[in-house]
Amino acid sequence: MNTWGINKSEIDYKLLNRISVIMLFLFIYTPKFLFFPVNLSYVVIVLAFGYLCYGTNLGRLLVIFQHKTFLTYLIFFLSCVLYILLIPLIADSEFDKTFLLTYIRLLLDIVLVLPVFVLVFGFDLEYCTDDFLDLLVKVGVAQAIMATLMFLVPDLKEMVFNFFIELPSEKLETQAYRGFGISNDYYFSAPLFQGLVFVLNSILFIKTSKKKYLLYYPFILISLIINARISILVIPIFFGVIFLLSFYYDDLKWLQKLSGLFLIFIAFLGFIGVYFLMNPEKMESLIWIVEGVMGGIGAMSGNLMESKTLSIMFREHIHLPSRWSQIWFGEGMVVFDNPHSSVRSDLGYIRYIYFGGIALSVLAYFTLINFSLNRIVNVKDSLFKATILTLLVTFFVVQMKGDILNSSAFLKGYLLLLIFSLFNHRTKTFDAE
């Protein structure tokens, strides 16, 4: 008798698996369908709550909350939310609820949705850690295939936005080289999740040598690059981490596999070059990508002005509040897309300074660092350590471009990995480390 929750004789395993995978896709990318009256992410929340009301699932949820590592993370994160709640009450700036609502929503994900996915996949569907990594890859590949098809067939992209998906931003109407796939964020969050998928796909290829992971690369790379150039940074970060850890663990097999990946990337770039030569109408996308890459290379050589993005960033987006008290403790000002703000910035670090100061920044970043380092130290799989370290470094790099520490696709995937790694499904019981 299964006393932990869903009885396999009552609900077919395959049906539960398919429904859960679809819900995971919707939770990660949160697309807004024109024909659906509410945001589908709310449907996922309702289903998660319904799951906890079934059988003994609520008791199983408490097992996760009682795990020391997760409980520590939750306490620190609740401290961040409490700080965010208090700042607008004592600040002089006009109240803007967007920052507050974003992190209350993230809190709901952390205490409800993420643990439910861990319970469903970790116990009910009996996924081990590698199975779960493979699942996240497949979710990303499904998005990547749709993005690739929309890129190759412009009429398909037009049909998707006219009949199925609400256009997330009016800027996409003038940026024909972006907006591929089915998501609510084509500029930052979703492309970075595709970067996370790139890392997981590479780790699984190194571990298994299965050819299917090689076949996934073209789709993942296309979906990663064509929507946000910032997501390209995950590739050199990953190779750098693997290269350094290969010396620490003295495992030359990693380097052999990576050399094979380099050859694949060269072949992929050759294919892309031929494609653009044969389809000059798509050249705008290539020019946009190349400008970003060359600008980044020029910036690394010492001239930051070589990069148009970096020059705009340093000229317009890097600034601080006028008073030291505001720098240390914030002024409750939302400086992103806020018509009431006297200053503006897209940068995640600057947004945190204006709203909660250095105090909130240190608390928020320490919360994620502490959780991540705990997993790096305590998991036995060296490649999983490399995964977490790569994603942690990526987080702090891309936080310079936008606020990734919110209810974003990248952070959802990252936290799912961290929480899932706390519980290893070794036997027929749900055992904590």
Is there a domain that residue 116 lies in?
yes
* Residues 258 and 216: beta-carbon distance below 8 Å: no
Average per-residue pLDDT for the chain:
81
Is there a domain that residue 219 lies in?
yes
pTM: 0.86
Is there a domain that residue 165 lies in?
yes
Q: Please state, for a pLDDT cut of 90, what percent of the chain lies above it.
A: 31
Q: How many domains does the chain fold into?
A: 1
**Which residues span the domain enclosing 368?**
13-266+318-432
Is there a domain that residue 59 lies in?
yes
Lowest model confidence (mean pLDDT) among 105-109, 111-115, 160-164:
160-164
Is there a domain that residue 194 lies in?
yes
Q: Is 431 helix (H, G, I), strand (E, B) or coil?
A: strand
Q: Which one has a higher pLDDT value, 286 or 212?
A: 212
What confidence score (pLDDT) does residue 232 get? 84
Question: What separation, in Å, do the N-terminal and C-terminal C-alpha atoms of the chain show?
Answer: 24
Is there a domain that residue 3 lies in?
no
Report for 130-139, 208-217, 251-260: range of highest mean pLDDT: 130-139
Residues 6+ apart with CB under 8 A from 302: none
Angle ∠(361,364,366) on CA atoms, nearest 5? 100
Is there a domain that residue 91 lies in?
yes
What confidence score (pLDDT) does residue 22 get? 93
pLDDT tens string 328-340 = 888 888 887 766 6
Q: Which one has a higher pLDDT value, 314 or 300?
A: 314
C-alpha distances out from residue 242 to 57, 78, 99, 296, Å = 39, 34, 36, 22
Dist CA 305 CA 408 (whole Å): 30
Residues 144-173, mean pLDDT to the nearest whole number:
83
In DSSP notation, 395-417 reads: HHHHTTTS--SSS-HHHHHHHHH
What confidence score (pLDDT) does residue 307 get? 53
Is there a domain that residue 386 lies in?
yes
